[in-house]
Amino acid sequence: MATLNDQHLLKTQSYWQGGWHGASESFDVTNPATGELVAAVADASAADAEQAVASAAAAFSRWAALPAAERASLLLRWHQLMLQHQDDLGLLLTLEQGKPLAEAKGEIAYGASYVQWFAEEARRVYGDTIPGPATDKRIMVLKQPVGVVAAITPWNFPNAMIARKAAAALAAGCTFVVKPAQQTPLSALAMAELAERAGIPAGVFNVIVGTDAKGIGAVLTQDARIAKFSFTGSTRIGKQLIKQCADTVKRVSMELGGNAPFIVFDDADLDAAVEGLMASKFRNAGQTCVCTNRVFVQQGVMASFSDKLQQAMKALKVGAGTETGVTIGPLINDEACDKVDELVQAASRQGATVLCGGQRVTAGQLFYAPTLLTDVTASMEVSQEEIFGPVVALQSFSDEDEALQQANNTEYGLAAYFYSRDIGRIWRVAEGLQFGMVGVNEGIISNAAAPFGGVKQSGYGREGSHYGLDDYLDCKYVCMGGLNR
């Protein structure tokens, strides 16, 4: 394995109660680009998860009672350490997840930006006073941390998906236990090492890594000491976890699957639209929930848009994320490659034209060629399922009503994008899209200042922005009476 500048950032055990904990079994973390072993990691059990929850529960009241400014300083220190170790954290991320090194380092900065954002927001957890219904009464509203928060996070953003949940939770005064995806535990454990170096007290930030997803998931969704559960992942698993949280009536937030439309109107700047689509589609080799999934191009500009797009796609370089100039890394595993290929082959059998790509690439086991499909229809699986791979599927439409109707024709509602230069159309379409986030003439919309989240079966709750703290705070009404006596 390529060496880190700071070897102590490579941790292979779970972290709770401010300490590292081994296990009798271990599991392998492999590099998806090469299949090589990156590290063998201690395989924590459901019983270990209970220990982690106990440590978060024990730490809660002290952490919640700290002045917000002190919690903010510790978070800012954590943020600084992430940036200071950006190269090492980026390399670890590329080795376990596969994305190109430049993108991995970008993810570290992106994750750290949430820590900074919520450190600043910690000081602004304002309550409220409300005029009372009688002269001798006053109504006050206090915002208090919900308690222990548990989270399960995905492999596609091994740092940032933890950072934006944990930073909000810690800023609000909650303590936190996370189970990262078993494919990418090393980024999470390195974050724990840096949290410790930042001085975040024992029990406040805990990471439990293991292969018993069911057993650990059961603890994190059913333990009565946990007040809130947050999940990023597929809609199918999210629905199951929501049910598991019901018995203890946990606060739940869900960032689930997407099926993002990308609409190109005939008045759009086509070069800008191609640039936006390239960014939105090929980030992380197409493996993000907000990646464009369905591209709708107005009939009159279809030919020139698809030519320009094909030209731009020629510049993509597939390979191991550690190689210079690579822009598309491997997919996460064999099943992911098979699924992408099945969607492409099925579309092609049903009448789609493969303009480029359409098969695995010989650079390694898990690489799929950037693929461009035209003549795609709404009934094809490639239009209905989250592709999670480097495949662009072009459909055409005739007018604005049809574009909106097609774009909204999905059970998902996470992100949507469109390109137009007509101000009236921009408002009509932005308001008509049934999605939690809309990019207008913009393909990259995620940032710490903005509320990230979906509607419909893409979930609920918002991460980032000042709204991102709400999910971690209870609203307590205090009625003060007897003021006239």
Measure the CA–CA gap between 430 and 417, rounded to whole angstroms: 9
Please classify residue 21 by burial: count the beta carbons closer than 10 Å to its beta carbon, then call 0-12 exposed, 13-18 middle and 19+ buried. middle
In the set 232, 374, 396, 406, which binds ligand SIN (CB under 6 A)?
232
Q: Name the minimum Å distance from CB 155 to ligand SIN.
A: 10
Q: How many residues bind ligand SIN (CB under 6 A)?
A: 10
Structural tokens at position 423: 């101000």
184 sits near ligand SIN (criterion: CB under 6 A): no
Taking residues 245 to 274 in sequence order and writing x for each that binds ligand SIN by CB under 6 A, - otherwise, the string is ----------x-------------------
71 vs 283, which CB is nearer to ligand SIN?
Answer: 283
In the complex, the smallest distance separating the C-beta of residue 307 from ligand SIN, rounded to whole angstroms, is: 29
Q: Which stretch binds ligand SIN (CB under 6 A): 183-191, 282-290, 353-361, 373-381?
A: 282-290
CB closer to ligand SIN out of 153 and 371: 153
Site string for ligand SIN, 375-414 (x = CB under 6 A): ----------------------------------------
Q: What are the beta bridge partners of residue 356?
A: 372
Choose the binding region for ligand SIN from 89-97, 156-164, 197-205, 368-376 (rule: CB under 6 A). Answer: 156-164
Residue 313 binds to ligand SIN (criterion: CB under 6 A):
no
Q: Which two tokens stand for residue 206?
A: 């805990």
Residue of 96, 255, 386, 400 with catalytic role: 255
Is 230 an interacting residue with respect to ligand SIN (CB under 6 A)?
Answer: no
Can you tell me which of 112, 219, 289, 355 binds ligand SIN, judged by CB under 6 A? 289
16 contacts ligand SIN (rule: CB under 6 A): no
- Tell me the closest approach of the beta carbon of residue 99 to ligand SIN, in angstroms: 12
| Beta-carbon count within 10 A of 353 CB | 14
Is residue 117 a contact point for ligand SIN (CB under 6 A)? Answer: no
- Least spacing, CB of residue 345 vs ligand SIN, in Å: 25
Least separation in angstroms between residue 255's CB and ligand SIN is 6
* 206 binding ligand SIN? (CB under 6 A): no
| Residue with smallest beta-carbon separation from ligand SIN | 446
Select the residue interacting with ligand SIN from 51, 94, 116, 156 (CB under 6 A): 156
Stretch binding ligand SIN (CB under 6 A), from 8-16, 74-82, 153-161, 168-176: 153-161
- Three-state DSSP string of 89-141: HHHHHHHHHCCCHHHHHHHHHHHHHHHHHHHHHHCCCCCEEEECCCCCCEEEE
- Locate 469 and state its tokens: 């703290």
**Which residues are within 8 A (CB) of 239 and not within 5 positions of it... i.e. 6 or more apart?**
none
Q: Which is nearer to ligand SIN, 71 or 105 (CB)?
A: 105
288, 371, 396, 465: which one binds ligand SIN (CB under 6 A): 288
Q: Is 337 a catalytic residue?
A: no
Does residue 323 have an active-site annotation?
no
Side chain identity at residue 358, one-letter code: G
- For residues 110 and 205, which CB has a smaller minimum distance to ligand SIN in the complex? 110
Provide the 3-class DSSP secondary structure of residue 465. Answer: coil
* Residue 446 sits in the site that holds ligand SIN (CB under 6 A): yes
Strand bridging mode 138-145 / 473-480:
antiparallel
Position 290 contacts ligand SIN (CB under 6 A) = yes
Q: Which of 289, 291, 386, 400 is catalytic?
A: 289
CB of 162 closer than 8 Å to CB of 311: no
* In the complex, minimum distance from the CB of residue 297 to ligand SIN, in angstroms, rounded to a whole number: 24
Choose one: 77-85, 240-248, 288-296, 470-478; the region binding ligand SIN (CB under 6 A): 288-296
Rounded-to-integer distance, Cα 72 and Cα 125, Å: 12
Residues that bind ligand SIN (CB under 6 A): 156-157, 160, 232, 255, 288-290, 446, 452
Active site residue ranges: 255, 289
